[in-house]
Amino acid sequence: MAARIHELRTQRATLAKEANAALDKVQATAKAEDRAITAEELAADDAFSARIAAFDTDIELEERKNDRERLYASAPGAAAPATTHLRAEADPKRGFASHVEFFLSAIDNAGFRDVADVRDPRLASLAVRDKDDKSSGDLAFMLPTGFSGLKATVGSDEQGEYSDTYGGFAVPKTRFPGLLSVGFEGDPTAGLTQNIPMASPTVEIMARTDKNHTSSVVGGFTVARRAETTAAAASRMALEMVTLKAASLFGLAYATEELLADSPVSFAALIDTGFRTQMGAKILDEKIRGGGGNEYIGVKNADAAIPIAKETNQAADTIVFANIVKMAARCWGYGGPSCVWLANQDCRPQLAQLSLPIGTGGVAVYQPSSRSGFPDMIWGCPVVYTEYADTVGDQGDLICVNWSQYLEGIYQPIQSAESIHVRFVNHERTFKLWTRNAGACWWRTALTPNKSAATLSPIVLLDARA
């Protein structure tokens, strides 16, 4: 029934198109001959209208029969209406003249769960099995409430953004300016180290050999009380030479001229920013673990660094209260403005739970910051978390450093240059950035206090806890 209605409507549309084409031709001929449309020509158009009206009558009659079938099909015990399973290749719309007709029919039949109750057989032909039941008949399955299991009739004949081929290419895309990045977390030691101006690649600095305070704090000079006319004892001061030698930190990149010309974002600026950020990260990494030579001498490799051993029976990969006590006790100048704890993020859960045991209770050693932008504190000194500290359990996962004793010299600040000549035949441009600097703790040994055998140092490391 529905297929017949669809066929009649298709024939009516074809005839209407043919009638309009014939009328357009008549009107054009009459205009060219500068005359009115003749009675015969009007009669021919009237014949088209009569044929179209006949189709309207046939369609109306078919729709009446369809409505009557719904009435007797809905009676108790009535047989299910016959369904016409239209193949998508034959009719992508499956008997519906438009999406509006499909939606109206689906709404009218909403609430029925059994195909036998569906009043419009075109919907039954679109049903999807609720479960894989090979044994049941073609109509013996249930539909989800509201016909959520019906196949869509759209998606086969309309333009849309869902497919680049059928319209998606026509929709422009926009590019947000700028560049998203995680970047470098920043150097927590910036402004804390001792800046050494370098007028040449190598700078020598005299220093007193004064790391043994048992008899003198100035490298050998002593003073004493004396009686009148008694000769005074002479003393002398020992010196040493601290040397900083700048080495180059270098970055190099190539980019095609096409990219530089066509990119809406300055790619040269991206290269420059990227290298400057990477240089900052590299310098921080060297301050912690640099091996000397062409690198900084990192605090982990400093001659004066003091490693604090783990406690007896201390579990692997843990930090205990005694570790903090001993590290603070061995740090020279602890509590000063340049004294900072550096820790890997892995250490935070354990540090945050440290407390000084008092009776059955305790006092927190770790003081979380209550304000954004201010660091957490351990015994009065800030703790800064950095990905460049070693992971928890390894030596260097927790470091206490008085950075005022770390020398950092810059001979050449970051400079940049570019050239079209290096890869001229490749139509590429060369970019380079470089700086020349040096860094090291100037202490060659730990300090022996006047009245203690426990040495002190501006660099204290928590040793490995494997």
| Residues 18 and 104 grouped into a single domain | yes
| Residues 296 and 430 grouped into a single domain | yes
Is 177 contained in some domain?
A: no
Is 182 contained in some domain?
A: no
**CB burial of residue 218 (10 Å; 0-12, 13-18, 19+):** middle
Question: Per residue in 44-80, pLDDT tens?
Answer: 899 989 999 998 998 888 888 877 776 665 555 555 4
| Residues 243 and 131 grouped into a single domain | no
Is 165 contained in some domain?
A: no
Last residue of a domain, one of 112, 147, 182: 147
Last residue of a domain, one of 90, 121, 147: 147
Alpha-carbon distances of 24 from 42, 336, 353, rounded to whole Å: 12, 98, 90
More reliable by pLDDT, 80 or 27: 27
CA angle 344, 347, 351 (to 5 degrees): 130
| Residues 225 and 79 grouped into a single domain | no
Is 156 contained in some domain?
A: no
pLDDT category at 6 given cuts 50, 70, 90 is confident
| Dihedral sign for Cα atoms in the order 416, 422, 425, 426 | negative
Q: What is the arithmetic mean of pLDDT over 92-118? A: 70
| Residues 277 and 383 grouped into a single domain | yes
More reliable by pLDDT, 131 or 15: 15
pLDDT for 70: 63
| Residues 116 and 236 grouped into a single domain | no
| Residues 265 and 377 grouped into a single domain | yes
Q: What is the arithmetic mean of pLDDT over 170-183? A: 86
| Residues 108 and 213 grouped into a single domain | no
431: left (phi over 0), alpha (psi -120 to 50) or beta: beta
For tokens 């074809």, name the residue. 14
Share of the chain above pLDDT 90, in %: 58
| Residues 435 and 291 grouped into a single domain | yes
pLDDT for 76: 53
| Dihedral sign for Cα atoms in the order 325, 331, 336, 339 | negative
Do 304 and 445 touch, CB atoms closer than 8 A?
yes
Q: What is the arithmetic mean of pLDDT over 286-308? A: 97
Do 81 and 73 touch, CB atoms closer than 8 A?
yes
Q: How many other C-beta atoms lie within 10 A of the C-beta of residue 12?
A: 18
Considering its fold, how many domains does the chain have in total?
2
pLDDT for 86: 54
pLDDT for 146: 43
Is 158 contained in some domain?
A: no
- Can you state the percent helix, strand and coil of the chain, rounding each to 5? 30, 20, 45
pLDDT category at 305 given cuts 50, 70, 90 is very high
| Residues 213 and 287 grouped into a single domain | yes
Non-local CB neighbours of 56 within 8 Å, separated by 6+ positions: 12
Last residue of a domain, one of 126, 147, 168: 147
For the question of whether the overall pTM of this predicted structure is more than 0.85, the answer is no
Is 229 contained in some domain?
A: yes
pLDDT for 114: 56
Question: Per residue in 323-349, pLDDT tens?
Answer: 999 999 999 999 999 999 999 999 999
More reliable by pLDDT, 175 or 321: 321
Give CA–CA dist 143/127, Å, rounded. Answer: 7
Q: How many other C-beta atoms lie within 10 A of the C-beta of residue 389?
A: 23
Residue 400: phi and psi, rounded to 5, are -115, 120
The residue range of the domain holding 220 is 194-462
| Residues 128 and 50 grouped into a single domain | yes
| Residues 294 and 434 grouped into a single domain | yes
Give CA–CA dist 125/153, Å, rounded. Answer: 12
Of 411, 412, 410, the C-alpha closest to 432 is 412
Q: Tell me what the pLDDT averaged over the chain comes to.
A: 86
Is 176 contained in some domain?
A: no
pLDDT category at 156 given cuts 50, 70, 90 is low
Q: What is the CATH number of the domain that holds 363?
A: 3.30.2400.10
Is 160 contained in some domain?
A: no
Alpha-carbon distances of 372 from 38, 71, 386, rounded to whole Å: 91, 73, 17
Pairing between strand 339-343 and 381-385? Answer: parallel
Do 318 and 324 touch, CB atoms closer than 8 A?
no
